[in-house]
């Protein structure tokens, strides 16, 4: 291209198999859609190979159509200007509120204007008159590496089967497939940000594969680097050492540089319930040294008093998200609130006593999926499960703190942004924030007729198939109900191979 500026970039890809690494077994086809040359590669454990590719990228003219690749899949596009016009805009910004017949203007990766009858030239226009326009959902805790085990181990004990029996059998490519499939499924259901609680760090190659799967999906991801799942050291007894691997330093250096926009690093730690207080102190200090957030499970194993132990050690702080907390005593909930910590709950998978036990301390929970071995990929199911728990609790105690559909939607968006430390970027449709936007069909046969509360439609009626448009950082990831730049046939093949390997190796198939 005459006069074009040529940019030199370096990218790393995990490919299976290379021709000269003896342990490789699986095969993944990777296309590089820019000028490139192979720079170097090295063999890693379990058949994984890290290729370093130096690329020469030429700027391409912007397009407002959605071209297909050679397999017929739409290619993700980032128009210079995108105008979402005439929708019921639910900003969740306290200053902007809801705007019936509203517009959202996106330029590049940012929301630049929100209002009515915006006069904009030279933009791709999305007719949103049949849609609710909302911030992307945020899932604050998902063991994404388990995605290929969807519905395969439901009748069994999760801890004994998934963690102790299957966890040690995961190869790096199994983690890659799980993360890619899980993240793409999340995008399809309107989740634009997902925290990947990755306690499958059996080797450095497992960490690399997890990051690669997230990156290829196009989701805004928080990679919460955890420990390994190697049989009894998985910590399921609550008494095993889970001190964090120092490899997290390498992961931060190699994958999370200053130019990284979509992926963020966090530290997932066992805490006093699943490890020792000594390991917990080391883990918290490590994360704070690296300048990253922390996330841990509490209230799962009875009688551990994890929050009290952490408080006595001076560890509590606003940089920690506490998962589940369903069995956490009231005095420890108060300690979380006093320290500025945040909550992540998975209502479909938990026995909850309603919201009041948290709300009375000023704690507003975020929502999460937990694991696709026993739950669907979307947050619609989690929102409805939470409402069911709360309705049941209110029937027993009519003096409980009331909640609204907006509260439930905020748990899935605003509070998720806060729990991931991304509230300055996402969670509301506010000018200046990243353009993570979802359009939900309000005129589907299962959501008609219009005229009711759009927020009620979203929280009580909507399903993943009602999500017609998904935009992440200004890039269209789902267009007119169709995922963009996703090879479903390839994903299915990879996931089936991974599932067959794991279940056969474990003697479960």
pLDDT in tens, 338-383: 999 999 999 998 888 778 889 999 999 999 999 999 999 999 999 9
Average pLDDT over residues 64-72: 48
pTM: 0.86
In this predicted model, what pLDDT tens digit does every residue of 490-509 receive, in sequence order? 999 999 999 999 999 999 98
Quote the pLDDT of residue 156.
75
Contact 463, 169 (CB under 8 A): no
Across all residues in the chain, what is the average pLDDT? 86
Is the pLDDT confidence value at 62 over 50? no
Least confident of 10-24, 29-43, 81-95: 29-43
pLDDT tier at 458, thresholds 50, 70, 90 = very high
Is the pLDDT confidence value at 199 over 80? yes
Q: How far is CA 190 from its chain centroid?
A: 11
Quote the pLDDT of residue 28.
40
Residue 118 makes CB contacts below 8 A (sequence gap 6+) with 83, 85, 103, 105
Is the pLDDT confidence value at 10 over 50? no
Instruction: Tell me how far CA of residue 67 lies from CA of 21, 75, 468, in angstroms.
Output: 37, 6, 18
Q: Which parts of 4-163 fold into alpha helices (H)?
A: 158
Quote the pLDDT of residue 240.
55
Average pLDDT over residues 173-177: 98
Residue 475 has which token pair?
């890039």
Percent helix, strand, coil in the chain, to 5, is 35, 25, 40
In DSSP notation, 128-166 reads -TTEEEEEPEEEEEE-GGGGGGTTTSTTS-HIIIIIIII
Is the pLDDT confidence value at 397 over 90? no
pLDDT tier at 22, thresholds 50, 70, 90 = very low
Cβ atoms within 10 Å of 356's Cβ, excluding its own: 17
Query: Strand, helix or coil at 253?
Result: helix
CA atoms within 13 A on the CB side of 357: 17
Is the pLDDT confidence value at 223 over 80? yes
Quote the pLDDT of residue 39.
39
Instruction: Tell me how far CA of residue 292 lies from CA of 283, 284, 286, in angstroms.
Output: 11, 10, 9
Peptide bond into 164 cis (omega under 30): no
Quote the pLDDT of residue 17.
46
Percent of the chain with pLDDT over 90: 69
Residue 186 makes CB contacts below 8 A (sequence gap 6+) with 139, 142, 194, 219, 369, 377, 378
Quote the pLDDT of residue 27.
39
Burial (Cβ within 10 Å: 0-12, 13-18, ≥19) of residue 330? exposed
Quote the pLDDT of residue 403.
87
Strand partners, 138: 193
In this predicted model, what pLDDT tens digit does every residue of 238-270 receive, in sequence order? 555 677 889 999 999 999 988 788 999 999 999
Quote the pLDDT of residue 79.
67
pLDDT tier at 235, thresholds 50, 70, 90 = low
Quote the pLDDT of residue 479.
98
Alpha carbon distance 86, 478 (integer Å): 19
Alpha carbon distance 352, 388 (integer Å): 10
In this predicted model, what pLDDT tens digit does every residue of 290-335 receive, in sequence order? 999 999 999 988 888 999 999 999 999 999 999 999 889 999 999 9
Alpha carbon distance 375, 201 (integer Å): 23
Quote the pLDDT of residue 231.
57
Average pLDDT over residues 87-103: 98
Q: How far is CA 82 from its chain centroid?
A: 24
Is the Cα torsion angle 31, 34, 35, 39 positive or negative in sign? negative
Quote the pLDDT of residue 234.
52
Alpha carbon distance 310, 333 (integer Å): 13
């Amino acid at each position: 291209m005459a006069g074009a500026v040529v940019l030199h970039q370096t990218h790393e890809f995990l490919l299976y198999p290379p021709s000269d690494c003896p342990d490789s077994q699986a095969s993944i086809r990777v296309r590089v859609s820019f000028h490139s040359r192979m720079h170097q590669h090295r063999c890693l454990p379990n058949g994984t190979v890290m290729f370093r590719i130096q690329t020469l990228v030429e700027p391409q003219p912007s397009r407002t159509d959605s071209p297909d690749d050679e397999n017929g899949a739409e290619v993700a596009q980032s128009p210079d200007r995108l105008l979402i016009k005439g929708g019921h805009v639910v900003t969740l910004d306290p200053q902007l509120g809801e705007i019936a017949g509203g517009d959202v203007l996106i330029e590049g990766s940012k929301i630049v204007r929100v209002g009515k009858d915006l006069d904009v030239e030279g933009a791709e226009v999305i007719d949103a008159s049949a849609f609710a326009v909302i911030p992307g959902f945020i899932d604050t805790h998902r063991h994404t590496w388990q995605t290929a085990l969807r519905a395969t181990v439901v009748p069994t004990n999760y801890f004994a089967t998934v963690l102790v029996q299957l966890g040690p059998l995961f190869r790096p490519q199994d983690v890659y497939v799980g993360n890619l499939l899980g993240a793409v499924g999340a995008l399809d259901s309107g989740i634009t940000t997902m925290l990947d609680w990755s306690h499958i760090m059996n080797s450095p190659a497992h960490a690399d594969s997890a990051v690669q799967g997230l990156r290829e999906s196009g989701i805004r991801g928080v990679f919460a680097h955890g420990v390994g799942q190697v049989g009894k050291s998985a910590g399921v007894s609550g008494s095993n050492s889970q001190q964090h691997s120092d490899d997290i330093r390498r992961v931060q250096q190699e994958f999370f540089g200053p130019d990284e926009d979509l992926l963020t690093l966090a530290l997932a730690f066992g805490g006093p319930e699943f490890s020792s207080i000594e390991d917990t102190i080391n883990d918290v200090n490590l994360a704070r040294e690296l300048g990253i957030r922390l996330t841990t499970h509490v209230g799962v194993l009875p009688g551990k008093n994890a929050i009290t132990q952490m408080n006595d050690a001076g560890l509590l702080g606003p940089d920690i998200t506490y998962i589940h907390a369903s069995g956490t005593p009231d005095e420890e909930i108060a300690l979380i609130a006093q320290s500025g910590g945040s909550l992540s709950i998975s209502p479909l998978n938990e026995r909850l006593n309603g919201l009041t036990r948290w709300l009375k301390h000023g704690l507003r929970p975020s929502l999460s999926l937990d694991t696709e071995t026993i739950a669907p990929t979307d947050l619609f199911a989690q929102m409805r499960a939470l409402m069911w728990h709360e309705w049941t609790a209110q029937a027993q105690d009519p003096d409980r703190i009331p909640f609204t559909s907006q509260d439930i939607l905020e748990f899935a968006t605003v509070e998720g942004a806060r729990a991931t430390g991304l509230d300055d970027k996402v969670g509301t449709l506010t000018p200046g924030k990243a353009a993570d936007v979802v359009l939900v069909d309000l005129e589907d046969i299962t959501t008609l007729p219009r005229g009711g509360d759009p927020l009620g439609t979203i929280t009580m009626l909507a399903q993943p198939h009602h999500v017609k448009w998904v935009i992440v950082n200004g890039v269209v990831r789902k267009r007119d109900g169709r995922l963009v730049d996703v090879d479903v046939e390839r994903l299915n093949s990879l996931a089936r191979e991974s599932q067959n390997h794991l279940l056969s190796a474990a003697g479960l198939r």
